[in-house]
Structure 1
């Protein structure tokens, strides 16, 4: 991702994969960063990958439902 010495400087509390293993599918990965600036550095530098992968934030289901309801109202305004 073009981040120098990332292995030594970025602190991750935990990282794991979500879902059941399947030989023909890739599973999403979730990482919890120790520091907010580390997370933002990864999130903003993912565009350098040039791969079909994305980096996004994970929100609770309640927040996603609220956003889903409010997005049409925002677009209408």
Structure 2
């Protein structure tokens, strides 16, 4: 595998982890009755991963690892 494929795989995996964190936050919002800090922790993880994902996309675009599709 080349570096572009590895980079794209990492970005996709990070996106999936962000979505999983979103669903766990929803679960804690709906089911957690003792008002623990699990939802806040889930939100913190999701925001941090989203910022990392955004920066990886920008860096990948600047380095030429990710290119837009033109029709």
Coarse TM-score class (shorter-chain normalised): under 0.3
Q: As a proportion of its length, which structure holds more helix?
A: 2
Q: TM-score, normalised by structure 1?
A: 0.24
Q: As a proportion of its length, which structure holds more strand?
A: 1
Q: TM-score, normalised by structure 2?
A: 0.25
